[in-house]
Structure 1
């Protein structure tokens, strides 16, 4: 399967509860992450992470599936 470029948006509502698990999953999948930017949006009490990835659809689905199962975490992805 060919690797494709993509974007993943992650929104974390409870940083103290979910951020360690999110970082663990991202670390386990660091081989597909090209770039990462995190922004704390304090006014809305949400933390945003955007990722640029190079992955197969299977790799993308495995990672976003794990992230999406975490409490207080919303994930959206797009492959080019």
Structure 2
């Protein structure tokens, strides 16, 4: 299966979900290119971006699991770039 590059935009409004979110990101760590988290203290939320290089089903699985967390919103953008080897 071809890998795709994707970017997940995640907003965490419920701090109680942070550990579960971090556990999921750790579980899928082999596919993560990089991540950036920004605490927005004024609004009491955290904003994260996660770049991935993974098969589509892996990206969808992670996105679905994150979306089920309480107080967490996620959107995923996919590139049209396939495998680097062809």
Residue in structure 1 matched with residue 84 of structure 2 by the alignment: none
What is the Cα deviation at residue 56 of structure 1?
A: 1.3
Aligned length: 79
- Structure label with greater radius of gyration: 2
What is the Cα deviation at residue 57 of structure 1?
A: 1.1
Name the SS for the 1:71 alignment partner. Answer: coil
After TM superposition, which residue ranges in structure 1, 4 or more long, deviate above 3 angstroms?
none
Residue in structure 1 matched with residue 17 of structure 2 by the alignment: 18
Residue in structure 2 matched with residue 6 of structure 1 by the alignment: 6
2: distance between equivalents of 1:27 and 1:3? 19
Q: Counterparts of 1:54-65 in structure 2 under 5 Å?
A: 54-65=53-64
- TM-score, scaled to structure 2: 0.88
2: distance between equivalents of 1:14 and 1:74? 10
- TM-score, scaled to structure 1: 0.95
* Structure 1: gaps of 5 or more residues: none
Residue in structure 1 matched with residue 82 of structure 2 by the alignment: none
Question: Larger helix proportion, structure 1 or 2?
Answer: 1
* Structure 2: gaps of 5 or more residues: 80-86
Residue in structure 2 matched with residue 53 of structure 1 by the alignment: 52
Q: Deviations over 1:38-65 (max 9, x none)?
A: 0001112110110111011100010010
